[in-house]
Structure 1
Amino acid sequence: MKLLYWLDEWLALAEDKRQASLPILGNDLLDDVFVKYHFVDPDKPLLFTFSPAGTNVQAQDLHADFSPWGYHLAQKQKVNIIAFQHLGKSNWFRSRNLIFFLEQLSTLLTPFSCKLGYGLSRGGFAVGAFAQLLKLDQVLLFHPVSTKNKNIVPWDDRSSTDLAQQFDWDSDYHDLNLGKAKGYIIYDPTNHIDRLHAKRYPELTHLRVFGMGHGTHASYLNKFGFYKQVAVDFINNQQIDIAQFRQQTRTLRLKEDYYQSLNKANVNSAHRLGLLSKAHRILIDEKEAHVQEHQAKIDIQPLIDIAIKHQDKHPQDAVQLLETAQQLVPDDPLVEHKLKQLS
């Protein structure tokens, strides 16, 4: 537990010497959890990340340059990071050694005035479960899982819940405990289990994204930088620009292949396919309105001016410019008139 020893010695330094001793980076192995850390400045946020399902790293996969989920994102934002990577497929951060480490760690974080937590699904569970212990100020959770204790969430009948029963769900940190933390929880309201888990986080701001599912479409959403953009906003500002978030999700819905991907992922669910079909019809209407709205804002006058300027020497180029202008604004009478003149 090199980090604990280093923090203990670092706290004993005079405040001016603490900054001079940074940056510091290293890693620890705590039973079935690998932790990597990088400290750059105590005046900057300290971000905790816990890996989601699907990042099923094995102990033999670890190497000198290995970085847990979320680690590089924090480095790029130049904030302090402690990133936890579970090892193995079914791992819910229930290791007694890990919990002991976190309990000791929580007493050594006083120089950091801003502490953040970020996690998806399984990682979000860990953020929520350890939030009070680590005295987190703000959290960002995607695809919520509040606990796998069947007595608390008997309606969570996912296969992952049955697999998780090999762990102790009665001892400490088995359920969400946000303490004073605020922040955001982002989920698909049509996912029945996610919606019920989300209700258990009334302290957080709920942001709903129709059709995002529970992790099924993570790689698809990643293609558009969805998670990264939201996380960067959260890390840098400790809040999310909700108006921008709404615009981002609206733009995502305007992409046809978004619904093609959702239909493919939900091919075995008639109920969800019905919901997606309804949403797709709404999408078509939204898209038409979206195009009309932007067409109304397009200024095609520069294209017309260039076409008129070069119509004598380069009539074909002028026609192509005018045809482009006509595609942007189909009913413009001046464009139609100039095209007739040059025909």
Structure 2
Amino acid sequence: MKLLYWLDEWLTHSRSEQQQMLPMSGDDLLDDVFVKYEFVDLNKPLLFTFSPAGTNVQEQDLHPDFAPWGYHLAQKQKVNIIAFQHLGKSNWFRSRNLIFFLEQLSTLLEPFECKLGYGLSRGGFAIGAFAKLLKLDQVLLFHPVSTKNKDLVPWDDRSSTDLAQQFDWQGDYHDLDLGDAKGYIIYDPTNHIDRMHAKRYPQLTHLRVFGMGHGTHASYLNKFGFYKQVAVDFLQHQQIDIAQFRQQTKTLRFKEDYYQSLNKANANSMHRLGLLSKAHNILIDEKEAHVQEHQAQIDVQPLIEIALKHQDEFPQDAIQLLEVAQQLVPDDPLVEHKLKQLT
């Protein structure tokens, strides 16, 4: 627990001296959780991340350059980071050693005036469970999981819930406890279990994306850099531009795999499948004519601005956003010019 000792000594210095002692980085192994941290600037936010399911790392996979989920994102945005990576497939951050570490850590972070949490699915559970303890100010959660305590969420019948019962879901930090944290929770309202978990976060702003499903790497959203862009805005501004967010998700209606994802999410409802099929067929028949008729009215400027803003850090994501813009306004000279530059 090298970090705890360092912070304890660091706190004995004045704020200007603390700033001069940065940057500082290191890592620790806490039972079945690896933690890596980097402090770069007292005036920047301190971000906490916990890894989602699907990032299944074993202890033998760790090496000096290994970066937990979210670590590189924080580095690129030049914010302070403490990133927790679970080891093994079924791991819900329930280790007593980890909890003791977090309890000690929470008393040593006073110099950081802005503390953020970012997590997907399993990682989002950990952000919600430890938010009050860590005194988080803002959180960003995708694919909500509030707890795996069956008494609290009897409707969560996923296989992951049964696997999670090997851990203690009655002790401390087994359920969401946001404290004073505000922020955003993003989910697919057609996913019944996600929707029910999201209802347990009434103090957060709910942003719904139909058809995004539940998972750490929803294909078409990841393809357009959706997660990255939302997270970058959150880190830079501690808020999300909701109008821009809705503009991004609105473009999904032009993608075939959007309807495929919606069909999968509503597989058990013949009524919804019928409505989706009708909507999809109408779109196929009218899409080309609609775009031609209204392309002068379609505002792709938000897409272009996002692409230009992040073309250096995420060139492939910028290209994909510009390609979507080009579908909507095929003759736009700026879009064509930027695509030629990036490709």
Global fold match (TM > 0.5): yes
CA RMSD of aligned residues (A): 2.3
The residue number in structure 1 matching 2:148 is: 148
Give the number of equivalent residue pairs: 300
The residue number in structure 1 matching 2:30 is: 30
Residue 289 of structure 1 and its aligned partner are, at CA, apart by 4.1
The residue number in structure 1 matching 2:248 is: 248
Give the Cα separation in 1 of the matches to 2:118 and 2:205.
Answer: 14
Give the Cα separation in 2 of the matches to 1:241 and 1:297.
Answer: 19
Any idea what SS the aligned residue of 2:210 has? coil
Give the Cα separation in 1 of the matches to 2:74 and 2:278.
Answer: 39
Task: Please list, as runs of the form range in 1=range in 2, the aligned pairs for 1:325-336 lying within 5 A after superposition.
Answer: none
Per-residue CA distance 1:198-227 (angstroms, 9 max, x = gap): 000000000000000111752432111010
Task: Please list, as runs of the form range in 1=range in 2, the aligned pairs for 1:23-172 lying within 5 A after superposition.
Answer: 23-172=23-172
- The alpha-carbon distance between structure 1 residues 281 and 203, as it changes in their structure 2 partners (threshold 3 A), is farther
Any idea what SS the aligned residue of 1:56 has? coil
Residue 288 of structure 1 and its aligned partner are, at CA, apart by 5.2
- The alpha-carbon distance between structure 1 residues 69 and 297, as it changes in their structure 2 partners (threshold 3 A), is closer
Residue 328 of structure 1 and its aligned partner are, at CA, apart by 5.9
The residue number in structure 1 matching 2:295 is: 294
Unaligned ranges ≥5, structure 1: 299-326, 330-343
Any idea what SS the aligned residue of 2:93 has? coil
Residue 17 of structure 1 and its aligned partner are, at CA, apart by 1.1
Q: Is 1:226 matched up with 2:226?
A: yes
CA contact (8 A) 1:211 1:276 kept: no
Unaligned ranges ≥5, structure 2: 300-329, 333-343
CA contact (8 A) 1:266 1:273 kept: no
Q: Which has the larger radius of gyration?
A: 1
CA contact (8 A) 1:295 1:328 kept: no
Per-residue CA distance 1:224-282 (angstroms, 9 max, x = gap): 1010000001110000000000000011331224334665x669656575564355346
Give the Cα separation in 2 of the matches to 1:33 and 1:44.
Answer: 26
Any idea what SS the aligned residue of 2:104 has? helix
TM-score (normalised: structure 2): 0.82
CA contact (8 A) 2:130 2:177 kept: yes
| Seq. identity, % | 80
- The alpha-carbon distance between structure 1 residues 139 and 282, as it changes in their structure 2 partners (threshold 3 A), is farther
- The alpha-carbon distance between structure 1 residues 100 and 255, as it changes in their structure 2 partners (threshold 3 A), is same
The residue number in structure 2 matching 1:9 is: 9
The residue number in structure 2 matching 1:188 is: 188
- The alpha-carbon distance between structure 1 residues 99 and 188, as it changes in their structure 2 partners (threshold 3 A), is same
Residue 9 of structure 1 and its aligned partner are, at CA, apart by 1.1
Give the Cα separation in 2 of the matches to 1:130 and 1:166.
Answer: 20
Residue 107 of structure 1 and its aligned partner are, at CA, apart by 0.2
- The alpha-carbon distance between structure 1 residues 255 and 102, as it changes in their structure 2 partners (threshold 3 A), is same
Per-residue CA distance 1:264-310 (angstroms, 9 max, x = gap): x6696565755643553465567754553223579xxxxxxxxxxxx
Give the Cα separation in 1 of the matches to 2:216 and 2:112.
Answer: 35
Any idea what SS the aligned residue of 1:295 has? coil
Moved more, 246-255 or 197-206: 246-255
